[in-house]
Structure 1
Amino acid sequence: MSAWRARAEHAEIVGGLLYDFNVEFEAPTPSAEVLAGRFARLLELDDVIVLITGSTADPTGFAYLTLRPTPFYDGPLAQLEELYVRPHRRDQGIGTVLLRTACDLVRERGAGEMHINVDEVDTDTRRFYERHGFVNIEPGTDYRMLCYLQEF
């Protein structure tokens, strides 16, 4: 099993996967069509990476990453914006393939680190990322990092 990089022509697939993800977890979401239109533009950018597993006819999951400049590293800072595997395909290693491929790609791009935001109550997802070496405690400290946001 492998993950492949989406291009603008795959925007409808990615928009549909993100829509399904949001609906499954009861998150507010634009329509799949609106998301596809936005991904058509985003997938043209060099600092946006979307990986898909499965085929164009039967996509099984996706990972959406952004890269941004940072003064702390020579390369960019990576943000894993979303990682989703269709419910009937979970526990088959698809998430691991997506995450490892994402890490490999951003390392190749010279990224200094990758950030991932996870809801505190989502213990399964937290365990998944921790199993893959991600932490929410800065080395040398004994307190958790938190993410704050404000919608505009």
Structure 2
Amino acid sequence: MAEQTVRMASAADAEMVAGMQIDFNDEFSSPCPTMDELVPRFRRIMGGEHGFVVVSDNAQGAIGYALITLRPTIYDDGPLAVLDELYVRPALRDQRIGTAILRRVIDEVRERGGGEIHINVDEPDTDTRRFYERHGFVNVQPGTEDRMLCYLQEL
């Protein structure tokens, strides 16, 4: 594995991260906003208190990233974090890059006083589910046998 750096991204990284998001969505044939839409959205998140981005790069450039949004919650003094995206370039997967990014995310959320990180994963995506479970994430409410479900409505 090539030497990698895991760091907090700045607004100057918005175009690079937006490009990786487009690659991510293309890989899974998912709809994606355009670069012109994504770049200012990433800059807004990176430049404010409502989220952050962690980037991993090596000598060849950016190799992965995570996007986290934050919101207040009544259950903790710090924010509730949502891991909206975690992406590693396909040729570099299974090299613990995602693990390094996720650890940096967890550390940052803890530093900000957050008490929980939520992640939504599609049920058929068993590899991704195993990855998060390996890192201590669960889809069963502690103290119960009930699986947690995510509901959404596009507006």
Which residue number corresponds to residue 56 of structure 2?
A: 53
Q: Shift in Å at residue 128 of structure 1?
A: 0.1
1:90 matched residue in structure 2:
93
RMSD: 1.3
Deviations 1:80-105 (A, max 9, x none): 01000000010011000000000000
Q: Is it true that 1:148 corresponds to 2:113 in the alignment?
A: no
CA distance in 2, matches of 1:144, 1:56: 42
- 1:12–1:33: 8 Å Cα contact kept in structure 2? no
Give TM-score, length-normalised by structure 2: 0.93
**Partners of 1:22 and 1:113 in 2: how far apart?**
26
Over the matched positions of the two proteins, sequence identity in percent amounts to 56
1:108 CA displacement: 0.7
1:132 counterpart = 2:132 = no
State whether structure 2 residue 119 is matched by structure 1 residue 116: yes
- The one-letter amino acid paired with 1:10 is D
Answer with 133-142 or 40-49: which moved more: 40-49
The match for 1:15 is: 18
Question: 1:74: Cα distance to partner?
Answer: 1.1
**Whole-Å Cα distance in 2 between the matches of residues 56 and 79 of structure 1?**
29
The unaligned stretches of length 5 or more in structure 1 are: none
Q: Deviations over 1:4-48 (max 9, x none)?
A: 111111110110011111111111112233211321222211221
Distance 2:139 2:100 in 1: 22
C-alpha distance in 1 between matches for 2:115 and 2:44: 26
Count of residues in correspondence between the two structures: 152
| C-alpha distance in structure 2 between counterparts of 1:129 and 1:7, whole Å | 26
Q: Is the 8 A contact 1:49 1:66 kept in 2?
A: yes
Q: How does 1:31-70 map to 2 (within 5 A)?
A: 31-55=34-58, 58-70=61-73
Alpha carbons 2:5, 2:58 under 8 Å: kept: no
Distance (whole Å) between structure 1 residues aligned to residue 95 and residue 35 of structure 2: 26
Give the aligned residue type for 1:80: L
Between the aligned partners of 2:109 and 2:59, the Cα distance in structure 1 is 24
TM-score by length of 1: 0.95
